Amino acid sequence: MSFAEFQQSVARDAQPAAAWSGAVQALWHDARGDWEKSHEFAQDDPSREGSWVHAYLHRKEGDPGNAGYWYARAGRPMPATGATLESEWAAIARELIGK
C-alpha cells in the first residue's frame, strides 16, 4: 500500500483494514478525527511503532510529559519545537506503511 492509498482509505472506507497493525489503524482513526479510538489502538499495540503513535497522540493532546515517556519507549526523539502535528503524522504513516 502506498501513502496515497492509505489517505484514500481514510477518505473512503468506513473502517481501517483489519490486517493492518494497531499502529497503522490508530493513525487511520486519528486522521478521521477520532482521538479516543486512535488512542485505544495505539495503547493496545505493544510494539515500538505503537508506542510512537501513542507518543504522537499525547503530543497532539498537549501532554508533553506523557508524550516524552512514549517517545522514549518507541526509541524516538521528541520532535523539534515547531514541528507540526500534520508533518509528524505523515512521517509516521510513511514509515509504517513502507512508502
Tens digits of per-residue pLDDT, 62-76?
Answer: 999 999 999 999 999
Confidence band, pLDDT 50/70/90 cuts, at residue 99 = low
**In the block, which residue shows the cell 482521538?**
35
Which residue did the predictor score with more confidence, 57 or 82? 57
C-alpha cell at 60: 497532539
Mean pLDDT over 39-55 rounds to 97
Q: Any idea where the domains of the chain sit in the sequence?
A: 3-13+20-97
User: What is the rounded end-to-end Cα distance, in angstroms, of the chain?
Assistant: 8
pLDDT of residue 31: 97
Percent of the chain with pLDDT over 90: 93
Mean pLDDT over 20-26 rounds to 97
Flag whether pLDDT at 2 surpasses 80: yes
Element (H, E) at 36: helix 35-43
